[in-house]
Amino acid sequence: MSTPVPPPAQLASHRFAYPRERLKVGIVHFGVGNFHRSHQAWYLHRLLNEDPGLLDWGICGVGLLPGDLAMRDALAAQDNRFTVLEKQPGGGVTATVVGSLVEYLFAPADPLRVVERIAHPDTRIVTLTITEGGYDVTPRVEPAGLAAWLRYDAPFTVRPVSAFGYLAMGLALRCRRGGGKLTVLSCDNIQGNGELARRVCREFAALGGPEFAAWVTTNVTFPNCMVDRITPVTSAADRALARERFALSDAWPVPAEPFIQWVVEDDFAAGRPPLERVGVQFVHDVAPYEKMKLRLLNCSHQALGYFGVLLGHRYVHEAAADPDIVKLLRDYMDLEATPTLDPVPGVDLAHYQATLIERFQNEAIGDTLARICAFSSDRIRQWMLPVVHEQLRRGGPVSRCAAVVASWARYLEATDAAGQPHNVVDALKDELIPLADQRRNPAAAFLDHPLFAGLGGQPRFAGAFLEARRRIDTAGPRAALRHLD
C-alpha cells in the first residue's frame, strides 16, 4: 500500500536553513524569468544554506514588461519563494525551494522605488537578464525628461522605459547622495556582455553631463560573465509535479537541467558574495568561456531548432535524437565553430561538445523548439554571424552556418515541411517574413536585410545559403541536411 502524499504545502510558510527574514537586499536584478531563478538566485540560495551568516546578499527582482505582472503576482502570493525542479535524464527529479529573492518590484507601477533601491547604500550589485535585444537601446527611447532629471535634481516625474534608463536614474541619485561604488553584472548570452553593458550605460550617463559621466566611469564596474543552464518554460505538468511528487503548491516552479555553470570576471567595485564556495568560477578573462558557450551551445540550439521544426519535431530532445540533425551539430561544432575558438583553460572541447549533445537529448527537460527559435534575429546576429564572419576571414567552411540561416528563412514562412503551422516570435518578423517569402522576393533578398551586415555580397556564404534554401524548398529539409558535405 503506497504512502499518501500530504496536502501541498504553501511556499510562504517554507522554512530555510538560514534566517531569511533577516536577509537584506544587496543585489538588484532586472529580468526575473525562469533562467535567473534557476541560475543566479539558485546559486545564492545554495551559498546562504552553506553560510547562514551571509545576510547582505538578498535579491530584489525588478520587472519592466507587462508580462512581468503575472510573475509579480505569482511570487507575491508565495512571499517571493519558488521551486527549482532539477530534472535528470531518465525521470529523476529533485526539488529545491529557493529563498534568496526577498523583494519584487514591478517598475511601471512604482518607478521611484526601483530608482531608490538602486541608490540605496546596501545595494552593491545590479544584475541583468534582459535578453539580447535589451541592449539594443539608446537614450532616444526614453522620455525627454530623463536627461533633464539626470542633469538637475528635478522632481521625480519620469517613467523610464528600459533597464538602462532605470539604472541611469538610480546611479544619478546614488551619485548625488555621495553613495558608494557599484557593480553592474550582465548575465545575458552576449559575447562581451559586460563591455556592452558598460557602453550602453555610459551613453545614458552622458545625458547627465560630464560630472555624472565621470562618476560612473570611476565608481561602476562592468565585469563580463558566462552563464549556462538549460531552463525551459514552465508547464502545467511542472506545477503538477511539484504538487503531486513534492507536496509543494507553487504557481510558477522552474524546470531546469542538472548542468549549471557560471564563469565571472572578478572585477567587483563594492565586494561580492563568495560564490566560489558553491562552484562559480571567478577568472581574469571570461572571453574564451563566453565564446565557447555561445558558439557551441547557443548556435547549436539554433541549428537544431529550425531544421527540427521543419522536420516536424516539437521538442529539443526529439530533434537532438534525429541522426541527420546530430550530424549537422557535430560537423558544425567540429568544422565551423571550434576553429574560431580561443584556448579555454581547464576545458576539453571534444568532451564539452559530446556533453552538449547529451544535454540536448535529456527528454525529462521537455524543452520546446518554439522557445529556442523565438527572437532569432537577436540570437543569430549575436551568436552565429560572428562565426560566419570569422570563418570568411580565415578562408574556412561556412556551409553549415549558411544552411542554418536558410532553414531560418524557411521557418519564417510559419509552416513546416508537411504544412503544419507554427508561430513566429521575433522583433523583426514584420521585416523578415516578407523577405523570406519567395512568392514576393527572390531568395537572395533575405540576405540584403541590415541584420546580415553585407553577407549577401559574400559569394561563398551567399552561394551556400542559396543552395541550401533551394534544396529545402525542392527536396525537403532532410535532403538538404544530407547534402551538406
Distance CA 216, CA 114 (A): 18
Distances (CA, A) of 209 to 50, 176, 310: 44, 13, 52
Q: Are strands 225-228 and 261-265 parallel, antiparallel or unpaired?
A: antiparallel
pLDDT score at 1: 41
Distance CA 63, CA 164 (A): 13
Distance CA 332, CA 296 (A): 9
The residues facing 85 across adjacent strands are 95, 255
What are the DSSP calls for 144-167, one per residue? Answer: THHHHHHHS---S-----SHHHHH
pLDDT digits (tens, 9 = 90+) for 176-223: 998 899 999 999 999 999 999 999 999 999 999 999 999 999 999 999
| Domain chopping of the chain, boundaries | 13-283, 287-483
Q: Which three cell numbers stand for residue 185?
A: 553584472
Q: CATH homologous superfamily of domain 13-283?
A: NAD(P)-binding Rossmann-like Domain (3.40.50.720)
Q: Does residue 7 surpass a pLDDT of 80?
A: no
pTM value is: 0.92
pLDDT score at 6: 54
Looking up cell 561544432 gives 333
Question: 9: pLDDT confidence band, cut at 50, 70 and 90?
Answer: low
Distance CA 64, CA 211 (A): 28
Query: What share of the chain has pLDDT > 70, as a percent?
Result: 98
Residue 57, number of CB atoms within 10 A of its CB? 23
pLDDT score at 153: 66
Question: 2: pLDDT confidence band, cut at 50, 70 and 90?
Answer: very low
Please, what is the average pLDDT of the chain? 94
| Shared fold status for 13-283 and 287-483 | no
Question: 14: pLDDT confidence band, cut at 50, 70 and 90?
Answer: confident
Question: 438: pLDDT confidence band, cut at 50, 70 and 90?
Answer: confident
Distance CA 42, CA 64 (A): 22
pLDDT score at 179: 87
Q: Does residue 13 surpass a pLDDT of 90?
A: no
pLDDT digits (tens, 9 = 90+) for 124-170: 999 999 998 899 898 888 888 888 888 876 667 788 999 999 999 99
> Closest Cα partner for 287 from 218, 357, 219, 196?
196
Q: Does residue 48 surpass a pLDDT of 70?
A: yes
pLDDT score at 221: 98
Query: What share of the chain has pLDDT > 90, as a percent?
Result: 89
pLDDT digits (tens, 9 = 90+) for 449-477: 999 999 999 999 999 999 999 999 999 99
- Rg of the Cα trace of the chain? 23
pLDDT digits (tens, 9 = 90+) for 276-316: 999 999 999 999 999 999 999 999 999 999 999 999 999 99
Question: 485: pLDDT confidence band, cut at 50, 70 and 90?
Answer: confident
Q: Does residue 10 surpass a pLDDT of 50?
A: yes
> Closest Cα partner for 32 from 252, 301, 276?
252
Phi/psi region, residue 375 (left: phi>0; alpha: psi -120 to 50; beta: rest), is left
pLDDT score at 3: 47
Distance CA 339, CA 317 (A): 27
Distance CA 338, CA 9 (A): 48
Domain 287-483 classification at class level: mainly alpha
pLDDT score at 8: 67
Average pLDDT for 432-443: 88
Q: Does residue 4 surpass a pLDDT of 80?
A: no
